Structure 1
């Protein structure tokens, strides 16, 4: 199993309906491919950790690199993992209100509150990058 973390900039700021549409389209596709992880977005800044079967992760990342909606795609981490570090995290949002997404599967309050759960030493690099993004986003 493989875990990657990358950052990029959206080609434009995404609206609430666009973010919700993206969640609806990506989550089922990721489930079919056996991918889990976390995508955080704020003000055009993106950081995502993807994990799952090596080929599915590599293929998905290659598509992201070529996607014109992303600029400045930069791979930060690429590590083999024995178990999923974010098995229930598929996306995190800041731009949408809690009322807009409270019932949407995969929504997390990660951007709004300090992390309280320890994910263990193996998760430290990817989790720390997500924390840095949360702390420094515009």
Structure 2
């Protein structure tokens, strides 16, 4: 149960921002803004990235960043939220945490405050970072 708050600041906000409503106009706008067809909103909204193998990962990362910014109505950099989520995640071993935090720091420097570049650098659609994104169904199943 406490693991729920691991994902707390970032995941629940990101959950709300991208996947809370897979029909959301914000998500469709972000897909369109990134040159992607709006008919893939359900796959993106549910975090079913494996079904989007023909879509460049960098575009999906930018859609996630765009949707986060629109839903939260903020341009906050996601760096701090990722650091908190990794540090609080009890399912991660110390070595994995260290490796993830090193990646987060490296990507933060490369992205220079740009969430799109940051999420792309993290390879947000692949483990281990994709595991920090939860969907509303996950939240209900885990009683988050």
Q: Structure 1-normalised TM-score? A: 0.29
Q: Identify the structure with the greater strand proportion.
A: 1
